[in-house]
Amino acid sequence: MNFLSRVVVNACAIWVAAWILPGVVIEGNPVVEDQTGAIAATIISYLVIGLIFGLANAFIKPILSFVSAPITCLTLGLFSIVINAIMLALTSWLSGFTPFEFTLDSFFPSAILAAIIVSIVSALLGWLVPEKSSARD
pLDDT in tens, 18-48: 999 999 999 876 666 667 777 888 899 999 9
134 within some domain: no
What's the domain count of the chain?
Answer: 1
Q: CB-side exposure of 56: number of CA atoms within 13 Å?
A: 20
Among 18, 10, 5, smallest CA distance to 122 is for: 10
Q: Rounded CA gap, 98 and 1, in Å?
A: 26
Q: Quote the domain boundaries for residue 94.
A: 3-128
| Domain-embedded: residue 121 | yes
Please say if the pLDDT value at position 56 is more than 80: yes
Tell me what pLDDT residue 114 has: 97
pTM of the model: 0.89
Phi, psi of 101 (to 5 degrees): -105, 130
Model confidence at 134: pLDDT above 60: no
Q: Is 14 inside a domain boundary?
A: yes
Q: Is residue 133 part of a domain?
A: no
Structural domain includes residue 56: yes
Is residue 55 included in any domain, yes or no?
yes
Whether 81 is in a domain gets the answer yes
Q: At what angle do helices 3-20 and 113-128 cross, to 10 degrees?
A: 140
Q: At a CB cut-off of 8 Å and minimum separation 6, what does 45 contact?
A: 26, 27, 28, 30, 100
* CB neighbourhood size of 127 (10 A): 8
Domain assignment of residue 137, yes or no: no
